[in-house]
Amino acid sequence: MAKPSFLVVGHVTKDLLAGGGYTLGGGATFASLTAARLRERVALLTRAEPAVAAQLPALALGIELLCLPSQQTTTFENIYTPAGREQRLLAVAEPIGPEDVPEAWRAADRVLLAPVAGELPGHVTGFSPGSLLCLALQGWLRRREPDGQVRSAPWLDAEAALARADLVVLSEEDVKGSEDLVTRFVRTARLLALTRGARGATLFHQGRSIPVAAFPAQEVDPTGAGDVFAAAFLSAYRRETDPLPAARFASCVASFVVERQGSAGVPTLAQVRQRLHAAAAVAEGDR
């Protein structure tokens, strides 16, 4: 196994469809596909049952896949209401530990940890100090109730993990509107992006709060937009430089995925460049 430029770790999921059947989802699915479309050399470490593992190579050409065996695949039912998304977690695959990461992958240029159901340890270990490390916090901030409902949960190892990360991405939905929780994370994180759906995002960096505008989009399905943002942000970010251009790039990439169902809307790099160019031309014309 060669060193990838972009490593994604987390459960792929079965997202149940209203009419029956399922589509592949989860932060690992959206993030690895996004990175591949942005021309990264992508490796994906996940865990799923054999029937789902057999579908994963079709995600995109060029993704090096290690799917650990599991009796079941993490399975969600997503219900969108005017008040927001409601989720039921119907099954959970086995965890993924630091010992499961191949040696060559631990030195990946970029590492995105994208848990969805607490499948990764709360502490972050085993990766090269030279790797850019991004944490997508969703899966550390919730728990499964006995009836399957997904609820918020405290993250006891937060400060230790955040101190190790170069980038942190979470959504308003992840914190259920708790500004206190965001403030807690901002105190430790070097760079934190809080995504706000159609209202864009906010960067917290070096004591500053920086708004990032959303790109106009005709929303069809918001599932995965935050994961796409995280992957695009990590792909574009360069340590010790202004993070705002990378966040704008990520906002543009995320605007595509909401326009189609599931991961079908994840764009190519050429499509992203075209939309960025069009937006720059409009901005120039408005001056």
Contact 180, 190 (CB under 8 A): no
In a domain, 221, yes or no: yes
Average confidence (pLDDT) over 171-194: 92
For the stretch 185-227, pLDDT in tens is 999 999 999 999 999 999 999 999 999 999 989 998 888 999 9
For the stretch 70-99, pLDDT in tens is 999 999 987 776 766 788 999 999 999 999
For the stretch 252-265, pLDDT in tens is 999 999 999 888 89
**Domain CATH for 281:** 3.40.1190.20
Residue among 258, 268, 231 at smallest CA distance from 113: 231
Average confidence (pLDDT) over 126-138: 94
In a domain, 131, yes or no: yes
Q: How many domains in the chain?
A: 1
In a domain, 276, yes or no: yes
Domain span including residue 124: 6-285
For the stretch 119-130, pLDDT in tens is 998 778 889 999
Q: What is the pTM of this model?
A: 0.94
In a domain, 158, yes or no: yes
Question: How far apart (Å, rounded) are the C-alpha atoms in residues 99 and 101?
Answer: 6
In a domain, 1, yes or no: no
In a domain, 96, yes or no: yes
In a domain, 75, yes or no: yes
Q: What is the mean pLDDT of the chain?
A: 91
